[in-house]
């Protein structure tokens, strides 16, 4: 052994080095500070180390420390945190070329801002000689004020280098390779991840914040990545609940994952072993199912086949956007690129036998879009608004920050969601405006106007409505009065019809009540239709005879439209004139409707 090593061995441990190492351990336990890639120079000949203080930081991310300086570990932790936050706040940005050092006013203002932040972000122990409160305002405002009025004595030595500057601007060493780092962006991302972890803990997704990200399961890390690093789906991910229950997945046949859009829950099988990248793909797949409302867009189509079609579209988008890694066995076909889910459905609907053998993330023969929550019921928010707002805001952030390529079809669908569809009553009003004519008055001197009292010697033509004009402005109503009809549906539908008909000066409507047989009520004033309705409850609904009755009626104009109000439990209808349907929100007609369908909420 050499003489120097023998001397070191006899000298024993270095208390200064041990205290500094313990202080560094306290700093690196803070995930936000540890994420900033700073380094430490603690050499005897370090020119940047302060002789009358603890730490100075330069724009290369190097913390300069005097190895002979002694302090308690908590004091070291506070000083190092102060220097690292200078990096995070952009006070010493990395840049190439000659640098102009900040003046004393900038130095003091920046130290005050950092110390004020550390009051609410405690690391280590704050020195006793520092103030307990600091003035409001950012660095630029404080520095400008102090240039004018002078630095208050209590804020002159708030740094960590004693009387020397604790912030050093040096040229970025280009020979090290790479580009100059952005310490401010790194700190912002680290704070975002810390807040996401705190939200996970508050929401019960994890029990503690200690121990770093290894406490999170891979699917939880994937969800946190969307919140912190992928703005397009970050807003949706923040409101999604992950349910990782192996027994629940087994009971409901969930092979990998499934989503319930109404409950804003994604059910995953925790027994599946995927990498973080694969879990990102799986979660993005389910979130797009929910946000794009694929369950509601199915309409009268086969739900499982529409689920398959939506899977092809979503998986194609995610591969184009390079979000995670697609697990083996998922549905993907490059030939279906740039097609919507409806277009893909039309292509695959002709081969039902083969398509029913395909597997979604839930498994073979089962769709991963669930019709209801698997857990206990709870209060839900307006999910249409939640998904629409989350995707729209995420798209804006994604494009503003230039976070990568997005398929045109996905952008088009998100923009379409930003313009929500009109409610059923507004669409019904438009239908009335288009197909139910308003009676046009005529002018005739045979009926003098009454509004001539001021000038009785000047004749004026009066307004009147010919009988044929009044008869032309009407419509037919075929009303399902079977026992299955919901009285709430009848009330909403008839109330809307009455209000719109009155607004258009429609004097009467031709009404036919139908259950097992048609019952012609003739022409009724629109305000009296609701009072004449009587639910008969005589078995199934047969509406076609009521339609035929209106077709054959001599007193019903050939151009008048027909409005059919039913709950969907009816026969197949053939209407040979302009018509529309009023049905409940969750009902389906047993045939392909030729006219518009208004779903009453």
Q: What would the two tokens of residue 173 be?
A: 């060493």
Contact 558, 510 (CB under 8 A): no
339-343 long-range Cβ contacts below 8 angstroms, 24+ apart: 339/313, 339/409, 340/313, 340/409, 340/413, 341/294, 341/297, 341/306, 341/309, 341/310, 341/312, 341/313, 342/297, 342/309
- Give burial (CB, 10 Å; 0-12/13-18/19+) of 408: exposed
Please give the Cα distance from 582 to 566 (Å, whole number): 6
| Tokens 């979000």 found at | 323
With residue 494 as reference, give the H or E element that holds it. Answer: helix 487-503
Percent of the chain with pLDDT over 70: 82
Please give the Cα distance from 298 to 286 (Å, whole number): 16
pLDDT of residue 214: 43
Contact 143, 115 (CB under 8 A): no
CA 37 to chain centre: 32
Give, in order, the Cα–Cα distances in Å from 600 to each of 481, 491, 585: 17, 11, 5
Query: Among 206-210, 383-387, 470-474, which is the least confidently predicted range?
Result: 206-210
Nearest to 321 by CA among 260, 268, 399, 393: 399
Please give the Cα distance from 414 to 392 (Å, whole number): 6
**Range with top average pLDDT, 176-185, 374-383, 490-499:** 490-499
pLDDT of residue 6: 47
3-class DSSP string for 265-330 = EEEECCCCCCCHHHHHHHHHHHHHHHHCCHHHHCCCCCHHHHHHHHHHHHHHHHHHHCCCCCCCCC
pLDDT of residue 283: 94
Q: Judging by DSSP bridges, how do beta strands 39-41 and 62-65 pair with one another?
A: parallel
pLDDT tens-digit series, residues 514-535 = 877 888 888 888 777 766 666 5
pLDDT-derived band at 493 (thresholds 50, 70, 90) equals confident
pLDDT-derived band at 266 (thresholds 50, 70, 90) equals very high
* 595 pLDDT higher than 80: yes
pLDDT-derived band at 382 (thresholds 50, 70, 90) equals low
Query: Among 112-121, 220-229, 447-456, which is the least confidently predicted range?
Result: 447-456
Nearest to 319 by CA among 304, 298, 333: 333
Nearest to 393 by CA among 231, 558, 169: 231
What strand order describes the sheet that includes 597-600? 518-524, 509-514, 476-480, 562-565, 579-584, 597-600
Positive or negative, the Cα torsion across 423, 426, 429, 433? negative
Please give the Cα distance from 42 to 56 (Å, whole number): 11
Q: Judging by DSSP bridges, how do beta strands 509-514 and 518-524 pair with one another?
A: antiparallel
Specify the higher pLDDT residue, 203 or 318.
318
pLDDT of residue 472: 66
Average pLDDT over every residue of 188-198 = 68
pLDDT tens-digit series, residues 4-63 = 444 444 455 778 888 888 888 888 887 778 778 788 888 887 888 888 888 999 888 889
With residues binned 3-state (H G I as helix, E B as strand, rest as coil), the percentages for the chain, rounded to 5, are 45, 10, 45
Please give the Cα distance from 581 to 575 (Å, whole number): 11
* 144 pLDDT higher than 70: yes
pLDDT tens-digit series, residues 419-476 = 666 677 777 778 888 887 776 666 766 666 666 566 767 777 777 666 555 556 788 8
Average pLDDT over every residue of 347-362 = 76
Q: Reduce the DSSP state of residue 409 to 3 states and report it.
A: helix
> Would the pTM of this model clear 0.75, i.e. be above it?
no
pLDDT-derived band at 401 (thresholds 50, 70, 90) equals confident
């Amino acid at each position: 052994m050499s003489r120097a090593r023998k001397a070191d061995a006899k000298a024993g441990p270095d208390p200064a080095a041990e205290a500094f190492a313990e202080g560094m351990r306290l700093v690196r336990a803070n995930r936000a500070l540890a994420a900033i890639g700073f380094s430490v120079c603690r050499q005897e000949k370090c020119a940047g180390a302060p002789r009358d203080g603890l730490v100075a930081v330069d724009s290369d991310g190097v913390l300069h420390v005097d190895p002979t300086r002694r302090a308690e570990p908590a004091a070291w932790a506070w000083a190092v945190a102060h220097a690292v936050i200078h990096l995070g706040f952009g006070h010493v940005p990395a840049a190439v070329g000659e640098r102009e050092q900040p003046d004393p006013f900038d130095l003091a203002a920046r130290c005050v801002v950092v110390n004020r932040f550390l009051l609410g972000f405690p690391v280590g122990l704050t020195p006793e000689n520092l103030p307990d409160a600091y003035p409001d305002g950012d660095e630029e405002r404080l520095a400008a004020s102090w240039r004018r009025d002078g630095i208050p004595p209590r804020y002159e030595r708030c740094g960590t280098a004693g009387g020397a500057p604790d912030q050093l601007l040096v040229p970025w060493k280009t020979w090290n390779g790479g580009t100059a780092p952005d310490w401010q962006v790194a700190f912002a991302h680290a704070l975002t991840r810390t807040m996401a972890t705190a939200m996970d803990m508050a929401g019960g997704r994890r029990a503690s914040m200690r121990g770093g990200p290894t406490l999170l399961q891979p699917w939880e890390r994937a969800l946190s990545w969307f919140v912190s690093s992928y703005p397009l789906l970050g807003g949706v991910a923040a409101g999604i609940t992950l349910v990782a229950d192996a027994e629940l997945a087994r009971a409901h046949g969930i092979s990998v994952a499934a989503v319930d859009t109404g409950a804003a829950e994604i059910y995953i099988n925790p027994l599946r072993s995927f990498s973080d990248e694969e879990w990102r793909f799986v979660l993005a797949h389910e979130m797009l199912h929910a946000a794009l409302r694929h369950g509601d867009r199915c309409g009268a189509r086969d739900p499982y086949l529409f689920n398959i079609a939506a899977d092809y579209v979503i998986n194609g988008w995610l591969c184009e956007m390079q979000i995670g890694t697609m697990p083996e066995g998922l549905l993907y076909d490059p030939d279906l690129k740039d097609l919507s889910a409806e277009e893909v459905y039309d292509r695959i609907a002709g081969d039902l036998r083969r398509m029913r053998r395909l597997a979604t993330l839930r498994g073979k023969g089962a769709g991963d879009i669930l019709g209801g929550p698997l857990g206990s019921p709870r209060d839900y928010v307006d999910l249409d608004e939640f998904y629409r707002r989350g995707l729209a805001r995420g798209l804006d952030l994604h494009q503003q920050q230039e976070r990568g390529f997005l398929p045109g079809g996905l952008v088009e669908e998100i923009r379409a969601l930003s313009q929500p569809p009109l409610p059923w009553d507004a669409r019904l009003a438009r239908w009335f405006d288009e197909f139910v004519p308003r009676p046009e008055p005529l002018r005739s001197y045979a009926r003098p106007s009454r509004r001539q009292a001021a000038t009785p010697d000047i004749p004026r033509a009066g307004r009147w409505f010919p009988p044929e004009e009044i008869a032309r402005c009407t419509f037919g109503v075929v009303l399902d009065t079977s026992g299955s009809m919901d009285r709430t549906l009848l009330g909403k539908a008839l109330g809307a019809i009455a209000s719109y008909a009155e607004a258009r000066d429609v004097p009467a409507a031709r009404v036919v009540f139908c259950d097992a047989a048609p019952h012609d009520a003739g022409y009724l004033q629109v305000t009296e239709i609701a009072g004449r309705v009587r639910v008969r409850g005589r078995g199934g609904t047969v509406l076609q005879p009521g339609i035929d009755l209106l077709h054959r009626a001599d007193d019903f104009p050939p151009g008048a439209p027909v409005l059919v109000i039913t709950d969907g439990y009816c026969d197949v209808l053939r209407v040979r004139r302009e018509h529309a349907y009023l049905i409940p929100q969750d009902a389906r007609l047993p045939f392909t409707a030729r006219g518009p369908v208004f779903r009453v909420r």
